[in-house]
Amino acid sequence: MSSAAAAAALRLEQPFRDAIDVGKISGVVMEGRFVSGGSYSGYIGTQTSPEGDTKPLSPSSLPYMASATKILATIAALQLVERGKLSLDEDLRPSLPELTSLGS
């Protein structure tokens, strides 16, 4: 990583480090690419397991996604609407028969 990229990474990380220091968040995982080329991976803070064990975040940490996938599904659905392949008023059960067991 170039010195300019390293400086940019430090500027990006600092607000998260500050939030960790005051207990607002426990950690953050960041991935990105620099416009000038190269990539960045940042693992800052800690993660607590369901058993209560705390360990530093690392590339092997499993993130807690919570409801993060809902926004991705929404974006995908709205892109299909935009392309005319899906209507928001359409019944999805014919297209996804596995949903029929979920009721009407």
Active site residues: 67
Return phi, psi of residue 44, to 5°.
-125, 130
Four-point Cα dihedral 49, 20, 30, 40, nearest 10: -120
Six token digits for residue 17: 């480090």
Q: 44: closest CA among 32, 58, 33?
A: 58
Four-point Cα dihedral 89, 95, 101, 104, nearest 10: 20
